[in-house]
Amino acid sequence: MSSRLPHPSDRVILVCGPAGSGKSTVARACRDAGYEVLSFDEEAWSRGHTSHPVPEEVAQAIHRDLQRRLLSLVAAGESVAVDTSFWSRRSRDDYRECLRPAGIVPVVYYLDTPRSIILERLSRRRGDGPHDVVVPPDRAASYLDGFEVPTPAEGPLRVVDHA
């Protein structure tokens, strides 16, 4: 990861990429730089959901809670990184819409990690924690095939080469 990340002017960062792309590493760098980090996987794990996919109703509840916490942190003047896949434009737009009344435009950090590296990383997972959730090969391929890569047309975007 570039030493320029996180960029100091990025108040809210949406850390975006498929499972195994390196989102947790980028989120950790954000935390080290003073950002509050909201992690979907940590929240799911704390609720007892230790495998993928999390049931849809649980995922929706987690996102509602993350968005509520995000708005509270932003109102308190904090810089925040949200660590979840943001696999679809709709998921990214939901967070943009959540932040709009606060006058904040988030920056998407898209982890552009080669498929082969992602699959290799996922094959090493053992389920030891929220950032090590086992993703079977067929599920991993499905996640990669269904991933909607963000574009600058959506809003601010930083592409992170995370090989």
- Tell me the three-class secondary structure of 32-54, residue by residue: HCCCEEEEHHHHHHHCCCCCCCC
pLDDT in tens, 107-122: 999 999 999 999 999 9
More confident residue, 7 or 12: 12
Amino acid at 145: D
The CATH number of the domain holding residue 42 is: 3.40.50.300
Q: Say if 58 falls within a structural domain.
A: yes
Q: What average pLDDT does range 5-25 have in this prediction? A: 94
Long-range contacts of 48-53 (CB under 8 A, 24+ apart): 50/127, 50/133, 51/127, 51/133, 51/134, 52/19, 52/133, 52/134, 52/135, 52/139, 53/139
Q: Provide the domain limits for residue 85.
A: 12-161
The reply to whether 122 falls in a domain is yes
> In terms of Cα–Cα distance, which of 27, 2, 155 is closest to 80?
27
Q: How confident is the model at residue 135 (pLDDT cuts 50, 70, 90)?
A: confident
Task: Please state the rounded mean pLDDT for residues 40-48.
Answer: 95
Highest mean pLDDT range out of 47-56, 79-88, 154-163? 79-88
pLDDT at 3 over 60: no
Question: What is the model's pLDDT at position 129?
Answer: 87
Please give the sequence-ordered ranges of beta strands (E in DSSP) within 65-126, or none if there are none. 80-83, 107-112
Is 71's pLDDT higher than 50? yes
Mean pLDDT estimate for the chain: 93
State the residue for tokens 């086992």: 134
Q: How many domains does the chain have?
A: 1
In a domain, 139, yes or no: yes
pLDDT of 163 reads: 58
Tokens of 128: 């030891």
Is the pTM higher than 0.85? The answer reads yes
